[in-house]
Structure 1
Amino acid sequence: MAVTRSVLCFGLILFFFVLQRGVFGHVICPGCQAPFVRLDHGCYMYLFSNFTKSWSDAQAYCRSKYANLATITSQRENNMIVSYVRSKFPVSFSWWLGGNDMAQEGRWVWVGTKSVMTYTNWYPDQPDDSGGREDCLHLWQNYAHRWNDEWCGFAKNFICEQ
C-alpha cells in the first residue's frame, strides 16, 4: 500500500510539473495548452512552425491545432512577435500571418474573425498586389520585419495563434 501511494504521489507531482512547464520546458500560462505558449496576451505555437506550407495549408494546419494563423492587432503585439522571432530565428525568415484580401482586393481581413484589419504594419508601398495575385499577409525579415502581401501558394513558415 505504501509503495502504491508513493507511486501515485510521484505521478501527481510529475503531472503537475509537466502541466506547469509544458512539453517543451517552457512555462505554460493558464489558458494556453501545449504546444502553445503565452506571449503577452496571446497563445502562440511554441517556436511557431519549423516547416513551410502554403498559406491555405498553413491555416488548415493551425485549424487542426484548434487555432488560426496569427492575428496582430497592435504595435505592441507586432513588436513582441518580431522580438520573439528574432531571438529564436536569427537567420532570414518569412512567416505567414492570418491576413488576406482574397474575398475583395484591398479589403484586408483576419482569417479567424473575418474582421477588417484596423492595425497594420505594412512595409512602404505595400500591399501592392504585384502581378495581380498577392492576397496573403506575411511578416518578412527582408522588409525590416514589416508586412508584405504575397502569393498565397508560396511555402513559408507560419505562426499559429489560439
Structure 2
Amino acid sequence: MANLAHIILIFLNIYGIFAADSTCNNYVSENAENKHPFIKIGNKYYFINESLKMNWFASSYYCRSYGGELANIESPAEMLALQNYISARKIESRLWFDGNDLAREGEYISHATGRPLTFTNWLPNNPDNSSNEDCLELYLYNKTLLMNDDNCDRKIFAICQYPERYRQKSLTYQNDNSILSGLVEAFAQTFQNCKSRALCPTS
C-alpha cells in the first residue's frame, strides 16, 4: 500500500507542476482581455497610433513593442470591419499591415505567420512593384479599403493586431491539464477501491 501511495504522490506532484503552468497561462489569457491599447474591431483587436508615421520595418518593431504584430487580415469580414472603423474615424488613407514580398518578388508572405497571405483585395492594377514596392499597405480608395504594394521606406501609420496565439496556447495547456487530472482521479479511485477491499499490498 505504501508503494501505491508513493506512486500516487509522484503523479500528484507531476499534476501540480502542469497545473501551475496552466494557471500561469490562464493568467496571461485572462489578462489579455484587457488588451490596452488594442481595441476590438470586428472579431479581432487592433491598435492604430494616429500620430506616429513610420516605415514598414519600424512599424513591425513598434507593434511588437506593444506585444502585438502588424495586422494579418484573413477575410473580407475583417477588411470590412477595419474599413468601417477607419472611415468613421477619418484616419489617413494609407496604413501598413502585415505582408511583403521581400524574399521573392510577387510572393506575398505574412511576417507574423511566415506563410502566404490567405486573403487579398487589391487596389486596381496592383500589386505593380512600381519603384521597388515590396511592403503592403491598406489604402482607402473611393471609401473602400484595398491592398496595395508600396515602398517599405514610406512613412505612414500602421495597424497593429493583438496576436490570438496566446489564447490558443493557453487552451492547449488546459487540455493537457484535463488529461492529467483524469489520470490522477483514476489512480486515486483505484487506491480507494484497493484499500476498501483490503487488496493493496503491504510494505
TM bucket normalised to smaller? 0.7 to 0.9
Please give the alpha-carbon distance, in whole angstroms, between the structure 2 residues aligned to 1:155 and 1:30: 30
Q: What's the TM-score once normalised by structure 1's chain length?
A: 0.75
Bigger radius of gyration among the two: 2
Give the 3-state SS of the residue equivalent to 1:96 in structure 2. Answer: strand
Q: What is the alpha-carbon root mean square deviation over aligned residues?
A: 1.7
Corresponding residue number in structure 1 for 2:146: 146
Q: How many residues align?
A: 130
**CA offset at residue 53 of structure 1?**
0.3
Q: What's the TM-score once normalised by structure 2's chain length?
A: 0.60
Off by >6 Å, runs of 4+ in structure 1:
none
Corresponding residue number in structure 2 for 1:38: 40
Tell me, yes or no, if the aligned pair for 2:134 and 2:149 is still in contact at 8 Å: yes
Please give the alpha-carbon distance, in whole angstroms, between the structure 1 residues aligned to 2:60 and 2:110: 11
Please give the alpha-carbon distance, in whole angstroms, between the structure 1 residues aligned to 2:79 and 2:156: 18
Q: Which runs of 5 or more structure 1 residues have no equivalent in the other structure?
A: 1-28
Corresponding residue number in structure 2 for 1:160: 160
- Percent identity, aligned pairs only? 31
Which of the pair is proportionally richer in strand? 1
Alignment of structure 1 residues 1-162 onto 2, 5 Å: 31-45=33-47, 48-50=48-50, 51-89=52-90, 92-131=92-131, 133-142=132-141, 144-162=144-162
Which of the pair is proportionally richer in helix? 2
Please give the alpha-carbon distance, in whole angstroms, between the structure 1 residues aligned to 2:115 and 2:49: 24
**CA offset at residue 142 of structure 1?**
3.7
CA deviation string 1:109-156 (max 9, x = no partner): 11111110121010121101012x101111112464211100000000
Please give the alpha-carbon distance, in whole angstroms, between the structure 1 residues aligned to 2:34 and 2:119: 24
CA deviation string 1:54-106 (max 9, x = no partner): 0000100001011111010000100000110001126x420001111111111
Q: Partner amino acid for 2:68?
A: A
Please give the alpha-carbon distance, in whole angstroms, between the structure 1 residues aligned to 2:83 and 2:41: 11
